[in-house]
Chains A and B, each alone.
Chain A
Amino acid sequence: MTWTSLNAWVAAPEIFLLCATCAILLLDLFISDAKRHLTYVMTLATLAITFALVLMGHEPQARLAFNGLYLVDPIADFAKLAMIVGVALVLIYGRSYAMARGLFRGELFTLTLFSLLGMMVMASSVNFLALYVGLELMSLSVYALVALNRESFASTEAAMKYFVLGALASGMLLYGVSMLYGSTGSLDIFAVSHAIQTGQANNLLAVFAIVFIVTGLGFKFGAVPFHMWVPDVYQGAPTPITQLIASAPKAAVFVFSLRILAQALEGFAPDWRGMLMVLAVLSMGLGNITAISQTNIKRMLGYSTISHMGFVLLGLLVASPAGYSASFFYVVSYILMSAAAFGVVMLLSRQGFEADQIEDLKGLNQRSPWFAAMMLFTMFSMAGIPIFLGFFAKLAILKVVVDMGLVPLAVIAVVFSLIGAFYYLRIVKVMYFDDAVDQSPLIAGNDAKLVLSINCLLLLVLGFMPDGLMNLLSDAVSQSFTSLPY
C-alpha cells in the first residue's frame, strides 16, 4: 500500500473541491455579513477550478483509483462537468434572491459545495460502499439546504418530508445492496457483474435485491409511484434550492443508476427493464396530467420533472449503449432547461415578494419582452417543440425506443408529451396575451441576467446543432462501456 497504488491524482477534482470547501468553511467565519460576496466569489472560483481539473484529467481511457473503489471514465467526466455547471447556475441565479431573504450565509455555499462533492462521488464510485456514502453526502447537504430558511413553515415542512422519505429510500437501497452482497459475495460493481455472468450468484436473492434497489432509485429520481416528495419539496424549498434539486442531482442519480443497473446488474437486464417500464409510463402519465391543474409554478415544474424523469427511464430501459447515451443527452439538456425555468422564476421575485404563482407571469411581455422571449424558449424546449434542445432530447429517446421494437411505448410517450405541452403553452399564453397586474421592473443583477440569457439562448443554439453535444455524450458512453479496466 503506497501512494502510487492509491492513484489519487485521478481524483484530483474531488480532492481539490474538498480542500477548497473546507478552506471556504473556515475563511467564511472571519467574513462579516457586509462582505459575504467574497464567499460567493471564492465559491464560484472553486467551481471554475474544479471544472478545469475535470476537463484537464479527461481521457477516453477509464482509470481506477483508491484501490479499485473509484473509477474515472468519460461518462463520469461529462456528468461532473454538467453538475458543476448546474451548481454554478444555482448560485448565480439565486444570489439576489438569497440576499433578499437572509439566506446569503456561509452555509448556503459550503453545503452546496459538499452536495456537489457527494454527486461527483456518486458519479465515479464503483463500490457500493462508496456509492452509498456519496449518495448520503449529497442528500444530507440538500436536506439541510431545504430547511435553511428556518423562519418559513413551508420550508421546514418540506425538509421534514424530504428527510423522512429520503431516509426511507436510502434504507430500501441499502437493503437491496445487502441482499446483493449476500447473493454475489462482493460489493465491487465489476465483481458483482462477474459473479452474475459466471452463474455464481444466487439468482432468487439477486432478483429480490433488484426490486429494492429499483425502489430506492425510483425515490431518488422522483419517479411515480415514489414521487410523493417531489411537489411538496419543490414548492416549500427556497427557489435556488429547488433549482439545485431539479438540476445537478439528476445527472448524479443517472450515472449512479447506470453503474448499478447497467454495469453491476447487466446480467439481470430483463428483470429490471420491466420494472423501469412501469415506472416510466406511470411517471410520464401522472406527471403530465397532474401538472395541468397546478397554479403554483414551482409545483408545476415539480410535476414536469416527474414526467421528464419518465423519459430518462425510457432510455435506460432500452439497456444498450445507444439507449444510455440518449438518456444522458436528455439529462444534460434537462439540467439546462430546469435551470433556465427556475432562473426566470427567481428573476421575477424580489424582497418580500415570491413570484411562485403562474399568475405572477401575467403580461411578462409588457414588462420585459426579452425575458418573456427567454421563458418562451425554455417552455418550448421543455414541451419538445422542434428546433429547441428539448425536442432533440425527446427525439433521441423515442428513436432508440422504436429501434428496440417497443413502438407502443413510444406512442404512449408521444401522447403524454402532447398532453404535457398544454401546461407549458399556458405559461406562454399568460406571458403574451394577458395584461400585466404587477408593473414593477425586474431588479436582478446584471450577471444573473446575462448568464440566464446565455442559458436560454443555448437551448435554441444547441437545438439548431444538437449533433456536437450528442456525439460527445454518445462517444463518452461507448468509450466507458468498451474500456473497462477489468
Chain B
Amino acid sequence: MTLALFYIFAAVLIFAAFRVITAKNPVHAVLYLVLSFFNSAVLWMLIKAEFLAVSLIVIYVGAVMVLFLFVVMMLDINFEALRKSFWKFLPVAGTVAIIMLIEMVMILSHRAAQIDESRLLEPSFNTASAETLGMLIYTQYFLPFQLSAVLLLVGMIAAIALTLRKRKNTKYINPGEQVRVKRDDRLRIVKMASEPKDSASDAQSTDQPAA
C-alpha cells in the first residue's frame, strides 16, 4: 500500500518538476512548483517525518511560493527573450547538470544511502516528532527560541523604519480638525509701538495694530 502511494506521488512529483521548467507561462511554472512541493511533503509523510512535511507546506507553499508569485506577477520579465539564449547556455548548463547527476549517483549508490524500513527512526514513546520537537524547543532550547523571536521583531522594526514614508505633498485635509480650529491657531496679535505720522504716511492702511 505504502509502496503504491509512493509511486503515485513520486510520478506526480516528477511530472510537476518537469512542467516547472517547460511551462511557457511563468505563473504556471510557479504553480507547478507548488504542486511538486506538495508531493515531496507527502513523500516525507510516508517515511514518518511528519514535522518536516508540515513545515515544508507551511513555509515553502504558504510563504515562499506566495512571495514568488507576487514577484513573478509584479516584474515584467520577457520570458520569450530569455528562452532565445537557450542554445547559447546549453554547454555550461549541461556540464553542471552532468556533474550534479554523477554526484547524486555516487551518493545514492553508497552504502549509507541504502535505507530500508527497519532503519527508519521510530517515533519514541508513541509521540509524534512535532510534539518531541515542541517539548525540546520550549524546555531545553527555551533561550535560543525566545531570542529568535526577538530577532524577528528586530527584523520587523528595521523593515518598517527603513521603508515607511509619510507622503509629504498630499492635499488631504481632515474636516474634523478644520471645524475644531480656534482663533489662537490662526491669528496672532502683535503689540507694537505706534510710529510717527509723517514717516509712515504711505503705510498707514496696512500698519494698523489689531488691538
Seen from chain A, the residues whose Cβ lies within 8 Å of a Cβ on chain B are 1, 6, 18, 25, 66-67, 69-70, 105, 107, 110-111, 114, 117, 121, 125, 127, 129-130, 133-134, 136-137, 140-141, 143-144, 147-148, 150
Contacts and interface: CB of A to CB of B under 8 A. Distances in A.
19 contacts: A1-B139, A66-B143, A67-B142, A69-B141, A70-B143, A110-B157, A111-B154, A111-B161, A117-B150, A127-B143, A134-B147, A137-B150, A140-B151, A140-B158, A141-B158, A144-B154, A144-B157, A144-B161, A144-B162
Interface in B128-186: 139-144, 147-148, 150-151, 153-155, 157-158, 160-162
Contacts of B162: 144, 147-148, 150
Contacts of A114: 150, 153-154, 157
B136 to A, nearest CB: 10
Interface string B18-61: 00000000000000000000000000000000000000000000
Given A25-B157, A107-B157, A67 B139 contact: yes
Given A105-B161, A107-B160, A144-B162, 16 more contacts: A6-B142, A18-B150, A25-B157, A67-B139, A67-B140, A67-B142, A67-B143, A69-B141, A69-B144, A107-B157, A117-B150, A127-B143, A129-B144, A137-B147, A137-B151, A144-B154
B201 to A, nearest CB: 43
Interface in B174-208: none
Count chain B CB atoms within 10 A of each CB in A6, A117, A140 and give the residue with the most.
A140
A136 B152 CA distance: 11
Contacts of B153: 114
A33 B155 CA distance: 23
Contacts of B139: 1, 67
A117 B153 CA distance: 13
B155 A140 contact: yes
B154 A141 contact: yes
A326 B19 CA distance: 64
A137 B147 CA distance: 8
A24 B161 CA distance: 15
B167 to A, nearest CB: 15
Given A6-B142, A67-B140, A144 B158 contact: yes
B144 A127 contact: yes
Contacts of A137: 147, 150-151, 154
Contacts of A133: 144, 147-148, 151
Interface residues of B, number: 18
Contacts, number: 64
A359 B126 CA distance: 74
A6 B141 CA distance: 11
Q: Is chain B's interface secondary structure helix, strand, loop, or mixed overall?
A: helix
Q: Is chain A's interface secondary structure helix, strand, loop, or mixed overall?
A: helix
A105 B162 CA distance: 12
B153 to A, nearest CB: 8
A114 B142 CA distance: 19
Contacts of A143: 158
A140 B161 contact: no
Contacts of A6: 142
A111 B150 CA distance: 11
Nearest to A108: B161
Give the 10 A-B residue pairs with the shortest CB-CB distance, closest first. Answer: A144-B158, A107-B161, A66-B143, A1-B139, A133-B147, A129-B144, A69-B143, A130-B144, A133-B144, A114-B154
A352 B150 CA distance: 36
Contacts of B157: 25, 107, 110-111, 114, 144
B51 to A, nearest CB: 18
A141 B150 CA distance: 11
Contacts of A140: 151, 154-155, 158
A6 B143 CA distance: 10
A130 B143 contact: yes
Contacts of B158: 107, 111, 140-141, 143-144
Contact of B151 (A127, A129, A136): A136
Nearest to B138: A1
A254 B139 CA distance: 29
Nearest to A11: B143
Nearest to A18: B150
A105 B166 CA distance: 14
Contacts of B148: 133
A442 B147 CA distance: 42
A127 B147 CA distance: 13
A403 B54 CA distance: 59
Contacts of B161: 105, 107, 111, 144, 148
A1 B144 CA distance: 17
B132 to A, nearest CB: 14
A130 B154 contact: no
Count chain A CB atoms within 10 A of each CB in B139, B141, B150 and give the residue with the most.
B150
B29 to A, nearest CB: 29
A149 to B, nearest CB: 10
Nearest to B158: A144
Nearest to A131: B144
B91 to A, nearest CB: 30
A140 B156 CA distance: 11
A147 B160 CA distance: 12
Contacts of A125: 143
Nearest to B140: A67
Nearest to A147: B162
B69 to A, nearest CB: 26
